[in-house]
Structure 1
Amino acid sequence: MKVIVAEDQGMLRGALSALLDLEDDIEVIGQAENGEQALQMIQELVPDIVVMDIEMPKMTGLDVAEKLKEIRHSCYVVILTTFSRAGYFQRAMKAGVRGFLLKDSPIDELGAALRNVYAGGRAVSPELAMTFWEAENPLSEREREVLKLAAEGLAAGDIAKQLFLSAGTVRNYLSEAIQKLEAKNRIDAISIAEKNGWLA
């Protein structure tokens, strides 16, 4: 199987590629240091699988996965992460990601996961799966939008203008979100939502 490795940390990218290349049935045909480069490389080299970090400059691993789904590319996506954030997982599943693994997984585990995905299956680290099933995003789409804009520092009036709502409605959404997240205030709600990846 032909694989592209996308990871912004050079040393990790090199080590991962070298280790995967040692496997008899895996050939690393490209390495990308950011999401934009990864997307371009996938379109040019047409790998079977791309192994991507979730947090990368220019485009995140999830942005790339969503774009590949949009253009109906045949390349399977396997995400590597250090974060067990439920919101990321939910977004990844919607984007058709086939594998979601921890960065510190042993290389033979990654090899086995890639073979599983290549055969049409899925692969999720057991430690991540437990966290994700337990933490479902309680926010509605609108509450998430409002909270995301609040996280960018916008006041209720500015959020209202941007979303074509009244300031009162925005305040209602914010107070709903604070209540659902059992937060003390708006700042606390943003912090809880970000920590869980629910604003992704």
Structure 2
Amino acid sequence: MIRVLIADDETLLRSAIASLLDMGESLEVVAQARDGAEAVELAAGHDPDVVLLDLEMPRLDGIEAARRILARRPEQAVVLLTRHGRPGVLRAALAAGVRGFLPKSVDPGELERVIVHVHGGRRWIDADISAAAMMDDCPLTDRELDVLRLTTDGFSVREISDHLYLASGTVRNYLSSAMQKTGGRSRHLAARIANERGWL
């Protein structure tokens, strides 16, 4: 049996996914988390074979939860589910070490196949999201995207530096570069422009 941890702040959806996966012969849901921080805790306590994370969750989003889970256990298979398959999000997920990236509209049967697939050590990226990423012309680096993403979340420069373990001056340099590339007159405007273009 492949042991699965599910994390989603929407209780009804999380329970429905768990019920569907438990109906299969090869999968067993061993834990359910209500947010990203709880997912990190439960992953450490249960050591599941596959972790299924929603992208948008309270306390920690799916990408940050994946980073922390994989920092503790680099071989962990992680699948990210999202309503917004933007190229920038896909890049951040892959950089974090996520093996699967799927829209929340995925068919239950395909979700089960993807879980089995990534448990075998392979990657699975939704074809439409992958195609959009290939056509993307984002000029921003991963670090510039990171600081803009945290700006969108309402973090101050000091909080961004603490979150990313960077000096405040380094964060300001990344923000300045991102502002220049996007044409935004402030970091908040740069973040909004990047978000509107699907880079975040």
TM-score norm. by structure 1 comes to 0.80
Q: 2-side partners of 1:128 and 1:43: how far apart?
A: 30
SS at match of 1:57: coil
Indicate how the Cα distance of structure 1 residues 43 and 164 shifts in structure 2: closer, same or farther if over 3 A, else same.
Answer: closer
> Which shows bigger deviation, 103-112 or 125-134?
125-134
2:46 corresponds to which residue?
Answer: 45
1:79-90 to 2 correspondence within 5 Å? Answer: 79-90=80-91
SS at match of 2:106: coil
Indicate how the Cα distance of structure 1 residues 122 and 80 shifts in structure 2: closer, same or farther if over 3 A, else same.
Answer: same
Q: 2-side partners of 1:80 and 1:34: how far apart?
A: 13
1:135 deviation in Å?
1.5
Q: 2-side partners of 1:96 and 1:146: how far apart?
A: 19
Question: Is the Cα contact below 8 Å between 1:6 and 1:51 reproduced in 2?
Answer: yes
Q: Does 1:173 align with 2:166?
A: no
Aligned partner of 1:190: which letter?
Answer: A
> Which shows bigger deviation, 187-196 or 128-137?
187-196
1:89 deviation in Å?
0.8
2:128 corresponds to which residue?
Answer: 127
1:191 corresponds to which residue?
Answer: 192
1:112 deviation in Å?
0.7
Aligned partner of 2:181: which letter?
Answer: A
Q: 2-side partners of 1:196 and 1:49: how far apart?
A: 32
SS at match of 2:75: coil
> Which shows bigger deviation, 8-17 or 190-199?
190-199
RMSD: 3.0
Question: Is the Cα contact below 8 Å between 2:138 and 2:199 reproduced in 1?
Answer: yes
Question: Is the Cα contact below 8 Å between 1:77 and 1:98 reproduced in 2?
Answer: yes
Aligned partner of 1:21: which letter?
Answer: D
CA deviation string 1:93-132 (max 9, x = no partner): 1111010001011100101111111111111111111111
Q: 1-side partners of 2:8 and 2:151: how far apart?
A: 30
SS at match of 1:104: coil
Aligned partner of 1:77: which letter?
Answer: V
- What residue ranges of structure 2 are gaps of 5+ in the alignment? 158-166
1:177 deviation in Å?
2.0
Q: Decide which structure has the larger Cα Rg and report it.
A: 1
Query: What count of residue pairs does the alignment treat as equivalent?
Result: 188
2:77 corresponds to which residue?
Answer: 76
Q: 2-side partners of 1:8 and 1:63: how far apart?
A: 15
SS at match of 1:164: helix
Question: Is the Cα contact below 8 Å between 1:86 and 1:136 reproduced in 2?
Answer: no
1:159 corresponds to which residue?
Answer: none
1:84-99 to 2 correspondence within 5 Å? Answer: 84-99=85-100
Identity percentage over the alignment?
Answer: 31
- What residue ranges of structure 1 are gaps of 5+ in the alignment? 156-161
1:1-200 to 2 correspondence within 5 Å? Answer: 1-140=2-141, 144=145, 152=154, 163-164=168-169, 173=177, 176-179=180-183, 186=186, 189-196=190-197, 198-199=199-200
SS at match of 1:41: helix
Indicate how the Cα distance of structure 1 residues 68 and 137 shifts in structure 2: closer, same or farther if over 3 A, else same.
Answer: farther
SS at match of 2:80: strand
Indicate how the Cα distance of structure 1 residues 194 and 3 shifts in structure 2: closer, same or farther if over 3 A, else same.
Answer: same
CA deviation string 1:151-182 (max 9, x = no partner): 55979xxxxxx8438x9x89963652234xxx
Q: 1-side partners of 2:43 and 2:178: how far apart?
A: 40
Question: Is the Cα contact below 8 Å between 2:147 and 2:175 reproduced in 1?
Answer: no
